[in-house]
């Protein structure tokens, strides 16, 4: 219990709440209809990437869990003012469930390399977690809830990719600024803590 309390301090919980709010605020950006409007193109995946890149895997995922809990309670926080349990029964369920998983993946990859934050690796982490992982789960959701075949679901998901790649770059630039302004937020990565592994790799 004490270990959990120390790892999630009041400041951590406040930061988690702030990032849940950022994802909600990005829902105010007008959505672009896709798949007949059932799975719109939104700016909220940028918030998912930012949560992972800035908060790390656990707190980043938690921020999105908090966000989804608020959506489930009926708050209209998704793009287009959507909310309530019904959205989890629709074609976008894979993307919604994927939000915390993608944030965790982005954070895990970012934290693995650690300080100093590098834009190049940041973009890779954002693409793997915030584009590949999220769209794989989104495709699965569309296949289950929209009764789409694999090829059709992949083709539909490809519509999101160009914008997602732009978000990945933008997120990396923002994350670099945040980590530069707040040194110590990003811990030393594995190869910094284990120089013998870095030597072996080289």
Report all structural domains of the chain as residue ranges with CATH numbers, in order of start: 2-197 (1.10.1760.20)
Cα separation of 17 and 11, whole Å? 10
Q: CB pairs under 8 A, 24+ apart, for 43-46?
A: 43/79, 43/167, 44/78, 44/79, 44/99, 45/95, 45/99, 45/102, 45/130, 45/134, 45/160, 45/164, 45/167, 46/167, 46/170, 46/171
pTM here?
A: 0.86
User: Around Cβ 83, how many Cβ atoms within 10 Å?
Assistant: 18
pLDDT per residue as tens, the chain (202 positions): 334 344 678 888 999 999 999 999 999 887 676 655 556 678 999 999 999 999 999 999 999 999 999 999 999 999 889 999 999 999 999 999 999 999 999 999 999 999 999 999 999 999 999 999 999 999 999 999 998 999 999 998 998 999 999 999 999 999 999 999 988 889 886 555 555 544 444 3
Which residues sit opposite 41 in a β-bridge?
32
């Amino acid at each position: 219990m004490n270990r959990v309390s120390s790892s999630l301090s009041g400041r951590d919980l406040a930061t988690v709440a702030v990032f849940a709010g950022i994802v909600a605020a990005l829902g105010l950006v007008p959505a672009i209809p896709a798949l007949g409007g059932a799975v719109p193109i939104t700016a909220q995946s940028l918030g998912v990437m930012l949560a992972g890149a800035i908060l790390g895997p656990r707190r980043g995922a938690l921020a999105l869990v908090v966000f989804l809990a608020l959506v489930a309670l009926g708050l209209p926080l998704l793009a287009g003012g959507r909310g309530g349990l019904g959205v989890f029964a629709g074609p976008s369920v894979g993307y919604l469930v994927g939000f915390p998983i993608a944030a965790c993946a982005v954070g895990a990859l970012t934290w693995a390399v650690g300080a100093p934050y590098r834009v190049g690796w940041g973009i890779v982490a954002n693409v793997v977690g915030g584009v590949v992982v999220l769209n794989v789960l989104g495709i699965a959701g569309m296949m289950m809830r929209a009764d789409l075949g694999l090829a059709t679901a992949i083709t539909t998901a490809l519509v999101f990719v160009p914008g997602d790649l732009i978000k990945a770059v933008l997120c990396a630039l923002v994350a670099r600024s945040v980590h530069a302004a707040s040194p110590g937020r990003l811990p030393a990565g594995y190869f910094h803590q284990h120089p013998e592994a870095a030597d072996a790799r080289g």
